[in-house]
Chain A
Amino acid sequence: MSGDVAAFAMAQRPRLAAAALKDAGITALVALALFAPLVGLRTDVAPNGALFLRPRWAEVAILVLLAFALRLGLVYWQAMRGPPRLPSAARAAVAARAGRLFAPVLLGLAVLLPFIPGTGRYELDLGILVLTYVMLGWGLNIVVGLAGLLDLGYVAFYAVGAYSYALLAQHFGFSFWVCLPLAGIMAAFWGVLLGFPVLRLRGDYLAIVTLAFGEIIRVVLLNWVSLTGGPNGMTGIPRPSFFGLPFSMSGGEGTFAGFFGIEPDPIHRVVFLYYLILILALLTNWVTVRIRRQPLGRAWEAMREDEIACRALGINIVATKLTAFALGAMFGGFAGAFFATRQGFISPESFTFIESAIILAIVVLGGLGSQIGVAVAAIVMIGGFELFRDLEEWRMLVFGAAMVVIMVLRPRGLVGSRTPTVALGQRRVIAAEHVAEGRG
C-alpha cells in the first residue's frame, strides 16, 4: 500500500514541485506583508519621548525565507504521507492498550521521583508545578470533559481556594489540614453560586459568562484591598506542617527533622509538598474515576451526549449540572489552597484568564474526559514550557504556536476515545467520532 503511494508520488513529482514552489512563493509573499511592518519597522522611544522607527530588514528576510522553507516542507510532507494506516477504532484500541501499561508506569515514576538520583530541588519544584496543573486539569475535566459544560473561568475557583486558605489561616490560625477542606467547600459553594444562574445557558454563551465571572472575581480580589491586600496580595501565609511538626531549620524537638532524628534540610519541605500535591491529584483522579462508573457520572456523560434525552429519562438536569460545577470547583479549591501554602504569597496576578485558558487547553489537548490524556497533556504543556526557559520572551510565543499546531494535528486531543463504564462482555473503547462534546 505504502509502495503504491510512493510510486504515485514519484510520477507526480514534477507537477508537485511546481505546485509546491508556487504555494511556498505565495506563502513567502504573505509572510513578507505580515512581517514587514511589525518586524521590519520597530517603534522605539527616543530620549526626548518621541517615537522613531528602527528598520530591521534582515530579520524580515530571515522570517520570509523560513516561511518559504516551512511551507515547501509541509506541502511535500502532505503529498508523501499515505492514508492513515489504521481506522480510528483500531487506533483507539491500540492506544487504550498502550494506555493501560502507560498509566501505572507514569504513576510509579511520579511516586519514586524524589528518590531518583539526580532529582534536586529544581526537578521537584517542576514536579510540583506539573502536578498542580494535572490536578487542575482533572478538576476541570469533570466540568468540561464529562459534563460537557464549557467553563472559561475555572481559575476563579483556584483563586477562591487560595484566598480562602490564606484568609482562614491568617485570621483564625487554622492549620493546613483544617483549612484545606474548608477551602474546597468554599470553592464548591462558589461553584454552585456561579453555576446556578448559568444553568440555562449553552455553549459559547456559557463560555463567555464563566469568563466574565472569572474576571469579576479577579477584579474584586484586586480592589478589595482591606480584605485581600489588593494588587500587593497576601504575604506570610503559613507553610504546611507535617501533621503538626513544622519544617524548621533549627532541628529542635518539635520539628520534623528533630522528631525523626534526621539532619534538617530545606528539601524535606519540598519533598513533603511534592507528595502532598501528588496525593491531592490522585484523590481527584480516584473520585472522578469512581463517580464516572456510577449513576451520577453516567448522568454527566449522558447530559454531554444529549440533554433533552436526559430530561425525558427523569434526570434532574439542575442537580446534575450543579454537582459537576461544585465538584470541579472543589478540586480547583483544593489546588488553590495547596498553591497558597506552597508559595506563601498570593496575588491576583496568579489568577488571570490565561491560567483558565491553559487549564482548558490541557483538558482539550489531553482529550475530553480522558484522565490519562489530561495528565500527559499537563506534563507536555507545563514541562515543555519549562524546557523552553532559555527562549525567554519567545517562550509564550512557542507555547501559543504549539497549542495551535497540536489542535490542528489532533483536534480530539491525545485520547479522544472513551472507555465504557460497564460492560456485559469485554469492555471495548469507543472511537472518538461517536462521542459527543456537549453543547453546554
Chain B
Amino acid sequence: MAYALQQLINGISLGMIYGLIAVGYTMVYGIIGMINFAHGDIFMVGAFVALIAIVMIVSGGLMEGPGALVLVLAIAMAFTSLYGWTVERVAYRPLRGSFRLAPLISAIGMSIVLQNFVQVSQGARVKPLEPQVTGGFEIMRDGDFAVQLSNMQILIVCTTLFVLAVFTWLVTRTSLGRAMRACEQDRRMAGLLGIDTDRTISLTFVIGGSLAAVAGTLYLLRYGVIDFYIGFLAGVKAFTAAVLGGIGSLPGAVLGGLLIGLIETFWSAYFSVQYKDVAAFSILALVLILMPTGLLGRQEVEKV
C-alpha cells in the first residue's frame, strides 16, 4: 500500500511533465493538423537553456532561493519560445496549405537539426547538475518503508498546475484564445473574419515552446542529468499522451500525460524497468484500436 502510494506520487510528478509537453503537441495539432515532431527537441532546448541559466545565476552566485528559480524559469521560457517560433517560421510556414507529408518530413528534419545543433554547441556528454531543490516530507511509514513526498515533487505539481491554470485562462478568456479556437475550427473562415491566422499560429508555437521550457526546467531539476538526446523519447511519449487523451483536446493532453506517467511508473515498479516503454506504447496501441479518437477526442463522423 505504502509502496503503491509512493509510486502514485512519482507517477503523477512524471506525468505532469509529460502533460506539459503534450499540451504543446495537441495545440499545434489542433490548429494546423500536423505532428510537430521537433517539439520534443524544443523541450530539450528548454532544459539546456535552464541549465545554462542555473549555472550562470545560482552557481555564479548572483541569486539564490525561490527567486532564482523563477528567474531561471522565465529565461528558459523566453528563449525556448523563440526557438518554437523560429521552427514554425522556418520549417512549417512555407509549407502551409501544401501536401500533408511535407511538413512532417520538414519537422523530422528540424528535430534532427535541433538535436545536432545542441550536440555541436553544448557537447555530446551528459550534463550533471547538483540537486537544486532538496528535502521533503515523510508522509507515511509502513514498516521500514517510508513514503516520501519531496519538495521537488511538490514544486513540479504546483508549477505545472499554476502554468496550466494560466494557460487555460489564456485559451478560454482572452482574444488570443478565441482566435486560436477559431483557427482550430476553420482557418480559412477565421482569416476571412479578420483574424491574423499566421500570427495566431506563431503564438501557438510560442506558447507551446514556453510550456515545453517549463517541462524542460522541471525535468532538469528533478533528474539532474540531461543530454541532447532526451527530447526524442520524452517527445514520443508526450505525443503518445496527447493521442491517448484525444489529440486536439487540451484537458485530454494533461490526462494522457498523467496516464502515461502512471503507467510507466507502476510498470517499472511492479514488472520490469526495461519494458516500461513497451507498456506505454502497447497501451497507446490498445486505446487507439478500441477508441480511435483517444479518450477525450471528438468523435469524427464520416460524411458520405
Contacts and interface: CB of A to CB of B under 8 A. Distances in A.
Contacts of A365: 105
Contact of B232 (A49, A223, A353): A353
A404 B109 contact: yes
Interface string A242-279: 00000000000000000000000000000000000000
B106 A52 contact: no
A51 B51 CA distance: 9
Interface in B74-117: 75, 79, 82-83, 86, 90-91, 94-95, 98-106, 108-113, 115-117
Contacts of A215: 236, 277, 281
Given A30-B86, A34-B82, A364-B105, A308 B55 contact: no
A144 B100 CA distance: 12
Interface string A82-107: 00000000000000000000000000
A222 B274 CA distance: 9
Nearest to A41: B52
Contact of B127 (A51, A357, A400): A51
A53 B55 contact: yes
Given A50-B59, A208-B284, A403-B108, A397 B79 contact: no
A207 B79 contact: no
Q: Is the interface of B mostly helix, strand, loop or mixed?
A: helix
Contacts of B112: 354, 357, 396-397, 399-400, 403
Contacts of B52: 37-38, 41, 43, 53
Interface residues of B, number: 72
Contacts of A66: none
Contact of B123 (A44, A222, A437): A44
Contacts of A298: none
A77 to B, nearest CB: 14
A205 B112 CA distance: 22
A45 to B, nearest CB: 7
Given A397-B113, A403-B108, A408-B91, A437 B99 contact: yes
Nearest to B55: A51
Interface in B30-67: 34-35, 45, 48-49, 51-53, 55-56, 59-60
A111 interface: no
B102 A204 contact: no
Given A39-B121, A50-B59, A400-B113, A368 B101 contact: yes
A216 interface: yes
Interface stretch (A117-125, A170-178, A195-203, A333-341): A195-203
B55 A43 contact: yes
Interface stretch (B143-151, B158-166, B197-205, B285-293): B285-293
A212 B120 contact: no
Contacts of B3: none
B120 A393 contact: yes
A38 B86 CA distance: 15
A205 B109 contact: no
A56 to B, nearest CB: 9
B125 interface: yes
Contact of A197 (B116, B120, B285): B285
A213 interface: yes
A121 to B, nearest CB: 29
Most buried by A among B106, B127, B239, B304: B106
A144 B105 CA distance: 13
A52 B59 contact: yes
A379 interface: no
A214 to B, nearest CB: 9
A418 interface: no
A224 B187 CA distance: 48
Interface of A: 30, 33-35, 37-39, 41-45, 49-53, 144, 150, 197-198, 200-205, 207-209, 211-213, 215-216, 219-220, 222-223, 308, 353-354, 357, 360-361, 364-365, 368, 393-394, 396-397, 399-404, 407-408, 411-412, 437
Given A41-B52, A45-B128, 12 more contacts: A37-B48, A38-B117, A43-B127, A51-B55, A53-B55, A53-B60, A150-B104, A202-B292, A215-B281, A223-B275, A396-B112, A404-B109
25 contacts: A30-B82, A37-B52, A38-B48, A38-B49, A41-B52, A41-B56, A42-B123, A43-B122, A43-B127, A51-B59, A53-B56, A200-B289, A204-B35, A208-B243, A208-B284, A213-B281, A223-B275, A361-B109, A364-B105, A365-B105, A393-B116, A397-B116, A397-B120, A400-B112, A408-B106
Interface of B: 29, 34-35, 45, 48-49, 51-53, 55-56, 59-60, 75, 79, 82-83, 86, 90-91, 94-95, 98-106, 108-113, 115-125, 127-130, 232, 236, 239-240, 243, 247, 272, 274-275, 277-278, 281-282, 284-285, 288-289, 292, 302, 304
